[in-house]
Amino acid sequence: MKIKTSFISVILMLTILQTILFTDVNGQQVIASSGGNYIQSSCSMSFTVGETVIQTLNNGNHMLAQGFQQPYKLTLNLKAYLQGFYDVAIGEMRTVLYNQGEWLTQGTECDTILVQLHESNPPYNVVQSLKGILQTNGTIVLRGMGQAGMSYYIGIRHRNSVETWSANPITLVDNTYYDFSTAATQAYGDNQVQVAPGTYAFYTGDIDQSGGVDGDDFNLLDPDIQNGNGGYLSTDLDGSGGIDGDDFNLFDPNAQNGVGAFLP
């Protein structure tokens, strides 16, 4: 009878412990090889027992891990178009890296962008940054950015585009998706330009990355036009591989209208 009572007590204790630890679980926490726990409203308890070496190596989107407990990485799926690179005829962006001689074969790669997570409150500090390659269809997948349940402004920077942020802080989950391209209002301050019916893109022309499209950018653009330069240059606003009048035609309206970054 005592054995039966003790068994019931153990089962009851484990049930209570499970209820406490696994309520509102949003992520995992990896701990030392000696074992232990970490309890928080957005985390689960995690143990590592008997593993002598635990190590994680990161390089961009690639991860190599050793140990019983494997690190957990959130996935951030974004879609955004860049005005200068968007080709209305094909409904997506050009293969800029190939056109500019950076890629040996033509694929679906457009260009490199920098994605930054900013705190949702002033002074909106950068929490994390990660570079990746934006595809010609506007998509990019990033892993290991931010913490589940936390809210961040998503900021995107590109070498000749105006820095653009999400309209509001976005709360990250295991697999977060945010599409800038569906409306101007998807960007903070509605700071996008329509490139096709129902399709919006980040403004081009901020060649010097000062935050605005102005005469300083023209001073960089004009000599390359005059000299017929080409290659992997930020002055190639349309991503064709050469700098010419087509690039000026993209630049001029944005400069005349005082286009610039609109940030909180």
DSSP track, 65-84: EESSSPP---EEEEE--BGG
Q: What is the pLDDT of residue 70?
A: 52
Q: Phi and psi dihedrals of 249, rounded to 5?
A: -65, -25
Q: Which of 66, 89, 107 is the last residue of a domain?
A: 66
Specify the pairing of strand 75-79 against strand 175-179: parallel
Q: What is the pLDDT of residue 256?
A: 98
Is position 137 within any domain? yes
146 and 211 within one domain: yes
Q: Which of 46, 66, 86 is the last residue of a domain?
A: 66
pLDDT tens column, 131-170:
999 999 999 999 999 999 999 999 999 999 999 999 999 9
* Whole-angstrom distance, CA of residue 79 vs CA of residue 110: 13
81 and 50 within one domain: no
83 and 205 within one domain: yes
181 and 159 within one domain: yes
Domain extent at residue 88? 75-256
Q: Is it the case that residue 221 has pLDDT exceeding 50?
A: yes
239 and 133 within one domain: yes
Is position 146 within any domain? yes
48 and 26 within one domain: yes
User: What's the structural domain count of the chain?
Assistant: 2
pLDDT tens column, 80-137:
999 999 999 999 999 999 999 999 999 999 999 999 999 999 999 999 999 999 999 9
The amino acid present at 44, given as its one-letter code, is: S
Contact (CB, 8 A) for 53 and 153: no
